[in-house]
Structure 1
Amino acid sequence: MKKEGFDFFQNRACEYFPCHKGVADEDFNCLFCYCPLYLLGDECGGNFEYLPNGIKNCSNCTLPHCREGYAHVMNKYLLIAERIRKKPRCMEA
């Protein structure tokens, strides 16, 4: 995959780098340090689990941190926008 310059970032000075196992250090992308897909719940496409208390645990997910992850996240942005779009007051129930 060709790097465009805006689709890959590393912060090797971070005390947690790399924060997930399963991606080679040279391919580890820190761009989405906090995953924007978290709010999509089970529609994010990543490897997650729900803990007994209902919290989504993404510690086994490398999707936003691999080189292909940028394209996946960008392809989900319309769904994210749909979820957070504010409805006009006249449409609220």
Structure 2
Amino acid sequence: MSENYKFFNHKNCEYFPCHKTNKPEEFNCLFCYCPLYALGKNCGGNFRYTDKGIKDCSQCLLPHNKNNYDYIMSKFQDIIKVASEKE
């Protein structure tokens, strides 16, 4: 079975690539906005918090790595838990 659904490269996007990369042909745009952001320090990505406490993901390529689809999908139960706690 094909796994083409795990990767989307939108070279025509005016923001492409939104993060610096030396492999633009492998840049995955599928998760344009990272679904793991809400997990805070538990997202698994390369982030930092600014002096004002804002999560800065500008150096993170985790959702844009063509091999990380399965990792992101494995975190959806954690995302659901975070969302349900806030309601």
Q: Same fold, TM exceeding 0.5?
A: yes
Residue correspondences, number: 86
Off by >6 Å, runs of 4+ in structure 1 = none
Q: Percent of aligned pairs with the same residue?
A: 52
Letter in 2 for 1:72: Y
Letter in 1 for 2:20: K
CA distance in 2, matches of 1:55, 1:14: 26
- Answer whether contact 1:23 1:65 (CA < 8 A) is retained: no
C-alpha distance after superposition, 1:27-86 (max 9, x if no partner): 100000000000000000000000011110000000000112211111110111111126
Matches within 5 A, 1:16-35: 16-22=15-21, 24-35=23-34
State the TM-score, normalizing by the size of structure 2: 0.89
SS of 1:36's equivalent in the other structure is coil
Q: Which has the larger radius of gyration?
A: 1
Matches within 5 A, 1:1-93: 4-22=3-21, 24-85=23-84
Letter in 2 for 1:52: D
RMSD: 1.9
State the TM-score, normalizing by the size of structure 1: 0.84
SS of 2:71's equivalent in the other structure is helix
Structure 1 residues 38 and 3, CA gap change in structure 2 (3 angstroms): farther
CA distance in 2, matches of 1:66, 1:42: 19
CA distance in 2, matches of 1:61, 1:3: 27
Segments of 5+ residues of structure 2 without an aligned counterpart are: none
Segments of 5+ residues of structure 1 without an aligned counterpart are: 88-93
